[in-house]
Every structure is written in C-alpha cells, then in structure tokens.
Amino acid sequence: MVDIQNLKDHRKIDIQKVGVKGIKYPVIVLDKANGTQHVNATINMYVNLPHRFKGTHMSRFVEILNEYRGRININTFRMILQRIREKLNAESSHIEIRFPYFIEKAAPVSRAKSLMEYECSFCGEGNGETNDFLVGIAVPVTTACPCSKEISDMGAHNQRSEVRVTLRFKKFFWIEDVIKLVEESASSEIFSLLKRSDEKYVTEMAYQNPMFVEDVVRSVAEKLNKDPNFTWYSVEAENMESIHNHSAYAYTEKTETGNR
C-alpha cells in the first residue's frame, strides 16, 4: 500500500505545526486530596513537517494518547513529547491539554461541601534539545471595588472575577496550592454552595478586603515571587463589572529583571 504522506512535495514550504486538534479524551491527572482524578480533556497535538514531505500520519497521535491514557501529568509530559517525535519521525512536537479540575470545598460557616470547578491546561513543546512546559490555571474569585466603598455611604459594588495564571517551573507542584494562593489574593474566594450564613460571611469578607484588578495581579505575583520553583509566570485578572458594560483587566509577568 502506498504511503501517501511520505510522498515528496515540491513546493518547498515547511509547516511549523500539523496534527490533530480538539480531541475529546478521558485522562487521569494527579489529585492532592484523592491521589488521582478522572477528567474529560480537550487535546491538541502537533509536529513540524519538513517541506519535502506531503503530510503527517494523523492516526499516530491518537495511538500515543492510548499509550499514556492513565499517565498524563506534569511528570510524564516531556516523555510524551519525545514519544510524539519518535513515532512521527519529527524534529519538534507540541501538545496542549485543557481540562476541568474539581476540588471539594467546604462553605466558610455552615461547612456545607460542594465541588468547585477550575479550568486547567498543560502546554508543552520540545525538539529533543530543549523542552518547554507550562501549566495554566483559571481561578474564579470575588473582588469589591475600593473606590466604590470609599465614595458610597452604604455598600460597594463587587464583581465575579477570573484570575488566569500560567507557570514555568523547576519541579512538580500541586494545582491545589496555586489555586489557594490565588484565592487568598482576592477580596474573597467563591463557592458552588452557600447557605445564608455563608453568604453573609463572604459578602462581608469582600467588603472588608476591597481590591482593584491591579491589586489582585500584584498580590498573586508577590506570592509567586517568594517561591523559587517558579522560574517564569504570567498573571492576568479580569473583573466582569457589575455596574459597567465592560470588564476591567490587568496583566503582569515575570522576566529576567523582575516584573514589568
């Protein structure tokens, strides 16, 4: 049978990324409280394609997923990138995995338990000599406006916000620990289930701890700077404003000379 993908292509145009995108796939990730957690992920996988080849073998990407189905985590990601290059005879490989991650949280007063969802991602690329791997975590929080509190006789407007952290690191860390760090950097964390006593607590907590979107990213960055494990990061926060028809946004990242 003729291998069409390996036929010569004479247009002399390299392709930097070619592969499969939007694969829905069940994977197992590490869970600090329970050991592992089964999640439904969306996966993109690519390799480079030199100009002399007509195409790549798409089915091999799925074969690799089957090989590592129960072992996709921070510790094995570089192995998967290497396996992709080997199986597809490529110089570079790239993989993106996005998945919902659930943590059981107890409400602050009633202690009622519920599952809270956080959107996470693993993104990596390698060429055999250098590898890069980033972990992304999106954390919903609450912020109360300092300006509104200052000028109002009663109350202050607040909003649900999302903080997105992307991390480059030296050694393994727990997703849960970064989530806690972010939640402690906002006016208040949020919960899936709140009783009336909990709602009173969360509302008053946010009112007593007002923060601009700038305060949130600086607070997260300040905490990350104290951990030498994180060699680079970006932090972005978006406040979905309750009294405006727009969002407030702030971004910072760590560079060789510090934050900019």
**Last residue within a domain, chosen from 94, 129, 164:** 129
Whether 76 and 123 have beta carbons less than 8 Å apart is answered as: no
68 shares a domain with 173 = no
Give the per-residue pLDDT at 152. 86
How many domains, the chain?
A: 2
- Give the other-Cβ count within 10 Å of 106's Cβ: 13
Give the per-residue pLDDT at 9. 54
249 shares a domain with 163 = yes
Q: Which residues 6+ apart lie within 8 Å of 233 measured at CB?
A: 165, 166, 167, 168, 221, 224, 253, 254
Give the per-residue pLDDT at 54. 67
Instruction: Give residue 38's domain range.
Output: 7-104+116-129
259 shares a domain with 164 = yes
Does 109 map to a domain?
Answer: no
For 57-71, what is each residue's pLDDT tens digit? 788 899 998 888 777
- Which of the two residues, 54 and 1, has the higher pLDDT score? 54
The yes-or-no verdict on residue 49 having pLDDT over 50 is yes
CATH number of the domain where residue 24 is located: 3.10.270.10
